[in-house]
Chain A
Amino acid sequence: SAVISQKPSRDICQRGTSLTIQCQVDSQVTMMFWYRQQPGQSLTLIATANQGSEATYESGFVIDKFPISRPNLTFSTLTVSNMSPEDSSIYLCSVDRQGGDVTEAFFGQGTRLTVV
C-alpha cells in the first residue's frame, strides 16, 4: 500500500479566505488526484496533477478556484481559494500504486474543511 500524508486533517475557515492542503507520498508517483466529497455526497474528481505540467481539471472545476501545485513526484498541494460555505467538504488526495497485476488507488486521510 502507499503511505499518503495529508495536512491539515481538518480546519475551520472564514469565508473569503484561502486554505492550502498538502499531500505527501512515500514514493514517487506520476499522477496525483484531488477529490472533493461534499456533505452526504460521493467523491468527485477535481483535477489530476502531473509533475512538470499544469493540472488537468474536471468539468465544473477551475484553476482560479482550486490552484494545484506539483513541484516534485512525491508532493502536491491543493488550494481552495476565496472560500464560501459551499466549499465545506472533505478533500482527499489519491495516488495509484501497482499491486501485482492491478493498479490500486490509495487515498490520504482527507481534510475536513468547514467554512463559516
Chain B
Amino acid sequence: AQKITQTQPGMFVQEKEAVTLDCTYDTSDQSYGLFWYKQPSSGEMIFLIYQGSYDEQNATEGRYSLNFQKARKSANLVISASQLGDSAMYFCAMREAPYNQGGKLIFGQGTELSVKP
C-alpha cells in the first residue's frame, strides 16, 4: 500500500538559513509523482514543487528544491534562505499514476515549520 512518512512533527529554523524537511514514501509502482504543499494557518493548500519518478534532475522552484533519492525512497524538501512567511505546515504527498495523469493524493502527517527572527 502507498504510504508517505514525515518523521518531523515540528522544525525550527533561523531566518535566512536553509532547512530540510524529510519525506519518505512507500510504493510498489514504478510511475508516481511526489508533491510538496504549504498550509498556512488560514488552511489553504499551496502547491510548492513536484518530482516525477522518472525525472533525473532534482526539481527546483525558486527557494524550494527537492532532494530526490529514488533508491532510498526519499523526497526531502529544502527551503533556502528561510523567511518569516515560511512558517506553516508542510505536507508531502504522492500520486500513484503516470505523471501526466491526474488522480488522488496520499498525504504525509505534515511538518510544522517555525522560522525564528
Question: Can you list 30 pairs linking A and B with CB atoms under 8 Å apart?
Answer: A31-B102, A31-B103, A33-B105, A37-B43, A41-B109, A42-B108, A43-B93, A43-B105, A45-B104, A45-B105, A58-B104, A90-B43, A92-B45, A94-B45, A96-B102, A102-B52, A102-B100, A103-B33, A103-B97, A103-B99, A103-B100, A103-B102, A105-B35, A105-B93, A105-B95, A105-B102, A107-B45, A107-B47, A109-B42, A110-B45
Pick from A33, A44, A107: contact of B44, CB under 8 Å: A107
Interface membership of chain B positions 20-44, coded 1 if the CB is closer than 8 angstroms to chain A and 0 otherwise: 0000000000000101010000111
Q: CB-defined interface of B87-110 with A at 8 Å, one 1/0 digit per residue?
A: 000010101010111111101111
> What CA separation (Å) do A33 and B95 show in the bound complex?
13
A53 within 8 A of B: no
**Chain B CB within 8 A of A101 CB:** yes
A30-B102, A42-B108, A103-B102 are contacts. A109–B91 as well, Cβ < 8 Å?
Answer: no
The one of B35, B44, B47, B109 in contact with A42, judged by C-beta atoms closer than 8 angstroms, is B109
Known contacts A37-B43, A94-B105, then 17 further A-B pairs from the complex at CB < 8 Å, ordered by chain A residue: A31-B102, A31-B103, A33-B104, A41-B109, A42-B110, A43-B45, A101-B99, A102-B50, A102-B99, A103-B33, A105-B35, A105-B102, A106-B47, A107-B44, A109-B44, A110-B43, A110-B44
